[in-house]
Amino acid sequence: MSLPHSLPSSVGNVPRLSLSKSRSQYTLHRSFSHRNILRLRRRAASFDHIEPKIQANRPEPIQLNDESDFYQLLSPDGRISISGFGSLLSQISARTTFPDLINFRVAKLHGFRRVFANVTPIFFERGLAKPETKEISSLSVEPYEAETLIGTVFEIKKSEIPAFIKREHEFRFLAVLPETLDGKPFTDPAVVCARSTDKEFFQIKCNGSKEIYFQHFGRYNIDKIWRDDILPCRVYLRHCVLAAKNLGDEAYNNFLDHTFLGDRKTTIREYLATTGAGIMEEEPPESLKTRYGG
C-alpha cells in the first residue's frame, strides 16, 4: 500500500490554532482556543441589533484538533451545535448517529461551498461504491468566500461528541457561526466537517501509522482520500438531494445550484441533467432504504 498522495497543506484561509508538540497527539493551547471561541460568541451577540444586509467582517472559522476542544463549544446545558450539509440534511440520518439530538432546523452558512471530492469507506462497506465508474465520492465543504450554503443545525449531547468524531474522522473540524435564513447569527458556534488533506489525515489522525491508515482506508484499496477526479456515490447523492428537498425550496435549490463536482464548475443540477441522469430514479438496496431515503 502506498502512502497517501501529497496535497496542499491547507485549504482556504482557515486560521490554525497553536499546537502543543509536547504530546504524541496534536492538541490546542487551551487559552488561545478559549479566547477564539469567546470571540465567536461575542461577534454573534454584537450582530443581534445589526441589519442582516449590512453585517460584515464575519468571524473566521476556528479549527478544532482534539476532542477536548469540542467541549469549549458546549452550551450551558451541556450540548454542542452541529452544522449539517450532506446526509445530515436528513433528520432520519442524523438520528442514526445522534438519537437524542434536539432543535433540528434549517440554517445558512456563508463563505463555504459543498464539493464531492472525498472517498468514504462506508460506501465500500455497504456495497454502494462503484470504483469502475469512479462513483465513490462523499461530500465535504471547503472555505470559499463567494459561496453560501443552506444546511441544518442541531444540538447533540456532550456524550455524543466521540461518536461524531468517529463518524467524520477524515474531516477537518471547524467552529463556524451559522445564521438563520433571514440572516441573524446563532448565539452559539457550530461544528462543520470541512475538507482536509491526505497528509494531515495520515500525520495527525493516524499518527503517521500505516497500520491505522490501513484499518480506515487501505483495506478498501483507498490510497488517496481527497480527490478531484471522482463522482458522487449514486445512492448517497440521491439521498442528499431528497433530504434537501424535504427542507423546502430554498434549501433544495441551493443544494442543486451551489454543490459542485470535484472540478468546482459542474453543479449538481447540471450533473443530474447530463452524466448523472437517472440517479434520482434509482432505489437504494432494501436494507438501506430508510437510511438513504432522504
CA distance 168 to 147: 23
Dist. CA 233–CA 290, nearest whole Å: 17
Q: For residue 47, what pLDDT is reported? A: 45
Cell of 175: 467552529
pLDDT for position 198 = 95
Q: What is the mean pLDDT of each run of 10 residues along the chain (294 residues)?
A: 42 38 31 52 49 57 92 95 97 93 97 96 95 97 96 97 90 96 94 96 92 91 95 98 98 98 98 97 94 91
Measure CA of the first residue to CA of the last residue in the chain; give whole Å: 36
Q: Are strands 102-119 and 259-260 parallel, antiparallel or unpaired?
A: parallel
Taking Cα atoms as reference points, which of 212, 98, 75 lies closest to residue 163?
98
**Residue 217 has what pLDDT?**
93
User: Of the candidates 96, 92, 201, 218, which has an alpha carbon nearest to the alpha carbon of residue 152?
Assistant: 92
Tell me which residue has cell 489525515. Answer: 201
Cα–Cα nearest to 67, from 99, 28, 24, 34: 28
CB atoms within 10 A of CB 220: 18
Q: What pLDDT sits at residue 1?
A: 47
What's the Cα-to-Cα distance from 88 to each of 85, 101, 139, rounded to whole Å?
6, 12, 11
Position 40 scores a pLDDT of 59
Q: Give the amino acid at 193.
A: C
For 165, phi and psi rounded to 5 degrees?
A: -65, -40
pLDDT for 186 equals 93
> CA–CA separation, 172 vs 165, rounded Å?
10
